Chains A and B, each alone.
Chain A
Amino acid sequence: MSENRNLTVISVLAYNNPAVLLRMTGLFYRRGFNIETMVACQTDRPSLSRLTVTMTGHNAEIRQVRQQLLKLEDIVKVDVLSIDDCSASELALIKVSATADTRKQVLNAAQAYGCRVLDIGENTITLEMTGRDEEVNRFVRYMQPFGIVEMGCTGVTALARGDTTIFEGLDG
């Protein structure tokens, strides 16, 4: 067990039943698995939700998480994706202090990083940044000197590369 602990994306397809989130997070809690981020959303199939969890762990731990998740009655499928081998993105909303002196610089930076400007207040600008974890972090670091007033961030959501989907093998 000397292998590295890698950041892994666990993509879960679950019936959209009440308490499915509680059942999942409870399982992570009681078995001592540490969730880094978790995002829940609907899919194009109304009865099914997609939950994307990122966690750091050895292969054996990740395997154990997957097998334990699959025992939950509401869970239909669990795909394990390597963070480096999937399309992954997260979203951050950042309210940056912007005085008359710095406003232009902030807007330039936003443009350079491909951010959307969501709101301009008297003394702040709210920006939306999407991208991989490291891109978002880099942008946040860059904006820090201007003064970040507050920010909110989603976790990672991810899809497998190529033509594969989480629905594969379900209808057969």
Chain B
Amino acid sequence: MKLNGSEILIECLLEQGVDTVFGYPGGTVLNIYDALYKNSHRINHVLTAHEQGASHAADGYSRATGKVGVCIATSGPGATNLVTGIATAYMDSIPMVAITGNVAVNLLGRDSFQEIDITGVTIPITKHNFLVKDVNDLADTIRLAFEIAQSGRPGPVLVDIPKDVSAAVAEYVPAPASKPRPINPPKPERLAQAIEILKQAKRPLIYMGGGVIAAGAYQQIRALAEKLDIPVCSSLMGLGGFPADHPLWLGMVGMHGTRAANIATRDCDALIVCGARFSDRVAGNPKGFAAGAKIIHMDVDHAEFDKNVQVTVRLAGELKEVLFTVASRLEETKRPEWIAACTANKVEWPAIPTDPEGPVDPSVILRTLRELTDRNTILATDVGQHQMWSAQFYPQYLPRHLLTSGGLGTMGYGMGAAIGAQFGQPDSRVVLVTGDGCFHMNLNELTTMVSHQLPVVVLVMNNRVLGMVRQWQKVFYEKRFSATDPERQTDYVKLAEAFGAKGLVIAKNGDILPVLSEALATDGPVVVDCRISKDANVLPMIPPGGSVENMIESMEAYEQ
């Protein structure tokens, strides 16, 4: 069958099971958009307000569904606007295929209108990228892009298609969907070494990360923890991979992690690290991290071993298989004393204040939201204080229900991600928790939510300052609040209404329950201005480079 490049692209996306793409049209993708128009009954295109929103939407779609997210942008500024979204996906290992148009092959390299070397730009933030100069290579390149995005450690792949290539005609031969490449199992002697360490261990601990979610290894990690009676903590990226109401759960580890998780990493004698990478937000002091433990590192990416922390055993492989094999070769064990010692460090949450006129506490908003929403609710966040409060006070019970930019820490991620998630999981409730700083970055996507009447609840934790940066200035810069007090006068209710959404306000403690209930009952986008104190802090906090001994648990105590 003879098709033009754009039609071949659409057919190849359909081969891969793509039903939704996020994008923005422009000069060099006119042919592609013409093919999208003709195929609108087969593939849904979601127009965002800005290409960055499209890239985050593809990412949010992928995180919420496990499928490869797809975004499309034109050449030049369209392509560069995708960059932050691609980098966000890269840092969090999210499978994505970004399609960009480019100027015609004979105009490449001549600084043509809206020309940019986007493959050059994105080399450091993609697993791989392609510039397709011949329409005869297009189909196989798209297939390979999907294969690479899903194989091993997932990540984004970019395919740059010059305008004449999207118009040129070639023979299209259908093919099945790309499959991830097979992964070699770990070496038997290393497995044996890991088994021996775990047999000897008296105080083992599991530290899991986003790799568990990428691999879908939730059952296997739970089975290992339960069989060997091992407490579990997680990085931000791993939240939801282990149910937060499980008796072995200790919470998030690291800078803003729980006291229980951080003390357990200090005290354990064997640490199983599963699909995690010892980021500086987890192992602030890499030399002192789990210093008393033998470390067994399970990961699909060989380059993660010994990158940040030297480990005892490297178990490279597919996590489901590695976890299953390790669990199957060990006897069931009970270690009540160690579990009791770990759980004794769990800190009870304070009682929810009852004074209706009292101030609005962000943790109370999140705890109330948790009570009002079912476990299938997808929580997207932006980056900063509200993100950490969301991780701390909105416990996760299921994987792929917390969408947050952990690695890159992208302010402005949330609006696009929430849109993508709502398209990917139309039956789930999607809530975005953002801050007034982050919301101002990409609030333009409210228009996308309104156009599609997406019932997304946007909770703006409005402290009128750039809270996390301000907190660091408070702790490390003697309260010199440089550029963190923007004195914005935004009226969020009017803003929401101007876009065609609903706007609500939580101004006092007594508003939290009724306003959240009203927001959740609304069939369409709602923005809630949650007026919190500018002095609210994220605690506990381990200062950068520090360990659990340096943990700040109360700002008053720290300031004295």
Residues on the A chain within 8 Å of B148, using CB:
73
A100 on the B face (CB < 8 A): no
A64 with B123: CB separation less than 8 A: no
Residues on the B chain within 8 Å of A19, using CB:
119-120, 123
* One of A18, A22, A67, A74 near B305 (C-beta < 8 A): A67
Residues on the B chain within 8 Å of A60, using CB:
306, 310
B128 with A73: CB separation less than 8 A: yes
Residues on the A chain within 8 Å of B307, using CB:
64
Q: Which of B369-421 contact A (CB under 8 A)?
A: none
* One of B123, B131, B303 near A71 (C-beta < 8 A): B303
Chain B residue at smallest Cβ distance from A72: B128
A63 with B123: CB separation less than 8 A: no
Residues on the A chain within 8 Å of B486, using CB:
none
Cβ contacts B294-307/A at 8 Å (1 or 0 each): 00000001110111
B123 with A68: CB separation less than 8 A: no
Measured CB to CB, the closest approach of chain B to A86, in angstroms, equals: 24
Residues on the B chain within 8 Å of A64, using CB:
303, 306-307
What are the 7 A-B residue pairs with the smallest beta carbon separation, nearest first?
A67-B303, A73-B128, A67-B302, A68-B303, A26-B123, A60-B306, A30-B124
A103 on the B face (CB < 8 A): no
Residues on the B chain within 8 Å of A26, using CB:
123-124
| Additional pairs, 8, CB under 8 Å, beyond known A71-B303, A73-B128 | A22-B123, A26-B123, A63-B306, A64-B306, A67-B302, A71-B127, A71-B301, A72-B128
A23 with B303: CB separation less than 8 A: no
B127 with A73: CB separation less than 8 A: yes
Residues on the A chain within 8 Å of B127, using CB:
71, 73
Residues on the A chain within 8 Å of B124, using CB:
26, 30
Residues on the A chain within 8 Å of B305, using CB:
67
A74 CA to B127 CA, complexed, in Å? 11
A76 on the B face (CB < 8 A): no
Measured CB to CB, the closest approach of chain B to A50, in angstroms, equals: 21
A140 on the B face (CB < 8 A): no
In the assembled complex, 11 residue pairs joining A and B whose CB atoms fall closer than 8 Å, in A order, are A19-B120, A19-B123, A26-B124, A60-B306, A63-B306, A64-B303, A64-B307, A67-B302, A71-B303, A72-B128, A73-B148
Residues on the B chain within 8 Å of A68, using CB:
303
Residues on the B chain within 8 Å of A38, using CB:
none
A1 CA to B306 CA, complexed, in Å? 12
A67 CA to B124 CA, complexed, in Å? 16
A70 on the B face (CB < 8 A): yes
Q: Which of A24-75 contact B (CB under 8 A)?
A: 26, 30, 60, 63-64, 67-68, 70-74
Residues on the B chain within 8 Å of A1, using CB:
310
Please give the number of chain B residues whose Cβ is less than 8 angstroms from any Cβ of chain A in the complex.
Answer: 15
Cβ contacts B508-546/A at 8 Å (1 or 0 each): 000000000000000000000000000000000000000
Residues on the B chain within 8 Å of A72, using CB:
128
* One of A23, A30, A70, A74 near B302 (C-beta < 8 A): A70
Residues on the B chain within 8 Å of A22, using CB:
120, 123
Q: Which of B135-181 contact A (CB under 8 A)?
A: 148
Chain A residue at smallest Cβ distance from B124: A30
A74 CA to B123 CA, complexed, in Å? 12
Chain A residue at smallest Cβ distance from B155: A71
A17 CA to B119 CA, complexed, in Å? 13
A23 CA to B130 CA, complexed, in Å? 12
Measured CB to CB, the closest approach of chain B to A61, in angstroms, equals: 10
Measured CB to CB, the closest approach of chain B to A59, in angstroms, equals: 10
Residues on the B chain within 8 Å of A74, using CB:
128
Residues on the B chain within 8 Å of A30, using CB:
124
A141 CA to B165 CA, complexed, in Å? 56
A172 CA to B305 CA, complexed, in Å? 27
Chain B residue at smallest Cβ distance from A71: B303
Cβ contacts A121-162/B at 8 Å (1 or 0 each): 000000000000000000000000000000000000000000
Chain B residue at smallest Cβ distance from A63: B306
A72 CA to B303 CA, complexed, in Å? 11
Residues on the A chain within 8 Å of B303, using CB:
64, 67-68, 70-71
A108 CA to B18 CA, complexed, in Å? 73
A26 CA to B119 CA, complexed, in Å? 13
A10 CA to B140 CA, complexed, in Å? 31
Measured CB to CB, the closest approach of chain A to B280, in angstroms, equals: 15
Measured CB to CB, the closest approach of chain B to A80, in angstroms, equals: 14
Chain A residue at smallest Cβ distance from B144: A73
Residues on the B chain within 8 Å of A73, using CB:
127-128, 148
A4 CA to B250 CA, complexed, in Å? 41
B310 with A23: CB separation less than 8 A: no
Residues on the A chain within 8 Å of B306, using CB:
60, 63-64
A70 CA to B307 CA, complexed, in Å? 15
A60 CA to B305 CA, complexed, in Å? 10
Cβ contacts A64-100/B at 8 Å (1 or 0 each): 1001101111100000000000000000000000000
Chain A residue at smallest Cβ distance from B306: A60
A1 CA to B123 CA, complexed, in Å? 31
Measured CB to CB, the closest approach of chain B to A27, in angstroms, equals: 8
A71 CA to B153 CA, complexed, in Å? 10
A130 CA to B128 CA, complexed, in Å? 37
Chain A residue at smallest Cβ distance from B148: A73
Q: Which of B301-320 contact A (CB under 8 A)?
A: 301-303, 305-307, 310
A22 CA to B126 CA, complexed, in Å? 14
A63 CA to B310 CA, complexed, in Å? 12
Chain A residue at smallest Cβ distance from B305: A67
Cβ contacts B112-131/A at 8 Å (1 or 0 each): 00000001100110011001
Chain A residue at smallest Cβ distance from B316: A67
Q: Which of A5-19 contact B (CB under 8 A)?
A: 18-19
A73 CA to B159 CA, complexed, in Å? 14
Measured CB to CB, the closest approach of chain B to A29, in angstroms, equals: 9
Supposing A63-B306, A64-B307, A73-B148 touch, asked if A23 and B301 sit within 8 A by C-beta, the answer is: no
